[in-house]
Structure 1
Amino acid sequence: MDETVRPLRIPPQISLYAHKHSIFHLLQDMLSSLVIDQPDDPVSFLISQLQRSSVDIPRILLLGPPGAGKGSVAKKLSAELRAVHVTTDSLLQDQSELSDLPVELLVQRLQHRLNEVDCFSRGWVLDGIPQTRLQAVSLQQAGVIPEHVVMLDAPDDVLLERSLGKLVDPLTGDVYHQTFIWPVDDIITQRLEKGRGPSEKQRLTELQRFRCEVTGLRSAYQHALKIINADQPYADVYQQVLAFVQTRRRSRTPRILLLGPPGSGKSHQARLLSEKYKMVDVCCGQLLRSVAADGSSLGKEIQPYLDDGRAVPDTLVLQVLDQRLSQVDCSYRGWILHGFPCDLQQARSLQASQAQPTRVFFLELTDDVCLERITLKATDPVSGERFHAVTRPAPSSQVHNRLKTRPEDSTHTVTLTLNQYRTHTAVLQSVYPDAVQVDADQDPHSVFEALESRLNTD
């Protein structure tokens, strides 16, 4: 670890104020605008940006496969919100396909378009842009960051039927379809013409291309994304889109604290949450071992405690946590901390730092179940696999006979750890009076659902 590079330390009082009033998100918005616009007079530009901050300027992406209805929804949404409808056609110019446009040129053209006065003052709705994860990441790096991302989707057969049965109003260019969008005005109906477009083979190719990219697109925009089923009446689809984009997307960056006795499943639930929501999984014990192994001066201070099996002093633990939780990935994606705090002093120290959780969960489990979960575990020294006498027994007597139990999993050690946890449970709950109690004596999927249902509740 480079000792010359240290994370910015913000006093706790300022950090609390900043999170309460969404200062960090305001700064992110202003920085994004600076990157996009690159004004000659940044100070005047930022003043004008602040003056308009009380008005919600829409910044919306509409994504989806061909035939999902993106264009129709985007056009109506732009009219409703008085935002600028930015289409692929307006960016293509001499290219026939968006995929033919080099990523650098796409970013350049889109930045130029969003820099124009109408987009800046009224906001924008991007229709079908980007189409690949590479395009999405490049746009994000260039500061094109939407407030809301909607992905419309439907079964392939429905999408192909719509694409082949498309009808167009020659006067307005509006797209209709008899089973999806049909004009209420008979005059419009009478002048509809069969839409010109790609062949069925080309549509299939476009659809397959989208299916290859959909996972990457969802991942790139997961914190702002809502997926809407487009295989329903157009009016219902549109109302769901409108309701979503009229909400404030930006919420506090998730900072989750998982507490509970040994064996309650904190590490497993943290991994599940991290995999689904891309928050950073911060296990205090693993983090200390990682820092001890990196050769830094802080790591060298920690290593002797780990070698001797002694508890690492709180001052060192807090330094490590402060460094890790202040890194960019934790600041932007949020984090899940487990393995700390374990007592009142540690909890108070954490409260006094910048690393204050937005949601605290206590995983509740009786001592008997904790002992059963831990003490019946054993490791096969040959394969490295871990088995459990009840939930995952060894596959053969040969494997069973060579299993080894770790010292920290012995009944004596686990009982001592449980007694320590129970001693401090009441004071930890007093530090976090709004914590959510979750019954951990059920299958992991049910525990995860209980955690997930409370992540975004007030």
Structure 2
Amino acid sequence: MISGPPAAGKGTQCERIVEKFGLIHISAGDLLRAEVEAGTAAGKLAAEYMNKGQLVPNKVVVDMVKHRLAQPDVQDQGWLLDGYPRSADQAAAILEEGIHPDVFFLIQVPDEDLIERVVGRRMDPETGQIYHLTFKPPPKDTLKRLIQRSDDTEEKAKARLEVHAGNVASVLDYYQDVLVEIDGSQDIGAVGSAIEDVLDTFQESSSLDEFQRQAEASSA
């Protein structure tokens, strides 16, 4: 599992993890939208709540997550659950279903740095490319057409950070045994290396465990 506040670079790190380790990236939000679009039983039920402006019950989302994690590709390659669970109720619900990560990454970045990242973001409406006025300056010939997303203001960024902090605080008790905090104020490569070092160690440990099990089986 991986969690991080808005603008912490979680999306970039998910891409790196998937590319290097071949895990199946699962976002509860994307999964929910896909089920609704596909018109599955769970998707139709979720759509009923969404059309009424109500939150989709935990059980519906948990069932979707559980079903996705049971698919052959996930069973074969492993999973990366992104930004979920977001509440103690959700954490308890998936734990009851036997869903528990080997590692829970929490990317930490000071709020003032996050706000600077958010407020300085600009998007090119023609290409969809995201720039930052300080950290990833856009080409001069695109400056005039760049736009700022409506929620990329300091006021809204602070509100989103407060929501995230509350969400994380409510679930950490469930994952203290596998929690790994990552300093997200470093550059992208350093953050990625810190995450990959942990996963490399775990992968090596898992390989040794499997080797030991095979050795014991062959000598039995």
TM-score band by shorter chain is 0.7 to 0.9
Q: In 2 relative to 1, CA 259–309 (structure 1 residues): closer, same or farther, beyond 3 Å?
A: farther
Contact 2:59 2:93 in 1 (8 A): no
Q: In 2 relative to 1, CA 376–289 (structure 1 residues): closer, same or farther, beyond 3 Å?
A: farther
Cross-structure match for 1:391: 135
**Residue from 88, 102, 114 that aligns with 1:358:** 102
**1:70-129 Cα shifts (integer Å, max 9, x gaps):** xxxxxxxxxxxxxxxxxxxxxxxxxxxxxxxxxxxxxxxxxxxxxxxxxxxxxxxxxxxx
Two-structure CA RMSD over aligned residues (Å): 2.3
Q: TM-score, normalised by structure 2?
A: 0.81
Structure 2: where are the runs of 5+ without partners? 206-220
Number of equivalences: 201
Cross-structure match for 1:432: 175
Tell me, in whole angstroms, the C-alpha distance in 2 between the residues paired with 1:408 and 1:401: 20
Contact 1:267 1:283 in 2 (8 A): no
Cross-structure match for 2:63: 319
Please state if 1:403 is matched with 2:146.
yes
Contact 1:302 1:312 in 2 (8 A): yes
Cross-structure match for 2:210: none
**Residue from 153, 156, 160 that aligns with 1:417:** 160
| Secondary structure of the structure 1 residue equivalent to 2:68 | helix
Q: Kindly provide the amino acid, as one letter, of the partner of residue 445 in structure 1.
A: G
Deviation (angstroms), 1:306: 5.8
Tell me, in whole angstroms, the C-alpha distance in 2 between the residues paired with 1:311 and 1:268: 28
Contact 2:108 2:183 in 1 (8 A): yes
Cross-structure match for 1:333: 77
Tell me, in whole angstroms, the C-alpha distance in 2 between the residues paired with 1:302 and 1:413: 27
Tell me, in whole angstroms, the C-alpha distance in 1 between the residues paired with 2:167 and 2:65: 21
**Residue from 262, 269, 281 that aligns with 2:25:** 281
| Secondary structure of the structure 2 residue equivalent to 1:407 | coil
**1:154-178 Cα shifts (integer Å, max 9, x gaps):** xxxxxxxxxxxxxxxxxxxxxxxxx
Q: Kindly provide the amino acid, as one letter, of the partner of residue 411 in structure 1.
A: E
Tell me, in whole angstroms, the C-alpha distance in 1 between the residues paired with 2:109 and 2:129: 25
Q: Kindly provide the amino acid, as one letter, of the partner of residue 301 in structure 1.
A: L
Deviation (angstroms), 1:354: 3.0
Please state if 1:367 is matched with 2:111.
yes
**1:332-389 Cα shifts (integer Å, max 9, x gaps):** 1101111211121111112112321111111111111222222322222222222211
**1:286-339 Cα shifts (integer Å, max 9, x gaps):** 222222221223223334666787643322221211111111111111011112
Deviation (angstroms), 1:272: 0.7
Q: In 2 relative to 1, CA 361–390 (structure 1 residues): closer, same or farther, beyond 3 Å?
A: same
Please state if 1:270 is matched with 2:14.
yes
Q: Kindly provide the amino acid, as one letter, of the partner of residue 82 in structure 2.
A: H
Cross-structure match for 1:344: 88
| Secondary structure of the structure 1 residue equivalent to 2:38 | coil
Q: Kindly provide the amino acid, as one letter, of the partner of residue 395 in structure 1.
A: P
Q: In 2 relative to 1, CA 382–286 (structure 1 residues): closer, same or farther, beyond 3 Å?
A: same
Q: In 2 relative to 1, CA 264–288 (structure 1 residues): closer, same or farther, beyond 3 Å?
A: same
Deviation (angstroms), 1:280: 0.5
Spell out the pairing of 1:157-172 with structure 2 (5 A cutoff): none
Q: TM-score, normalised by structure 1?
A: 0.41
Deviation (angstroms), 1:264: 1.6
Provide the identity percentage: 29
**1:236-270 Cα shifts (integer Å, max 9, x gaps):** xxxxxxxxxxxxxxxxxxxxx11221222222111
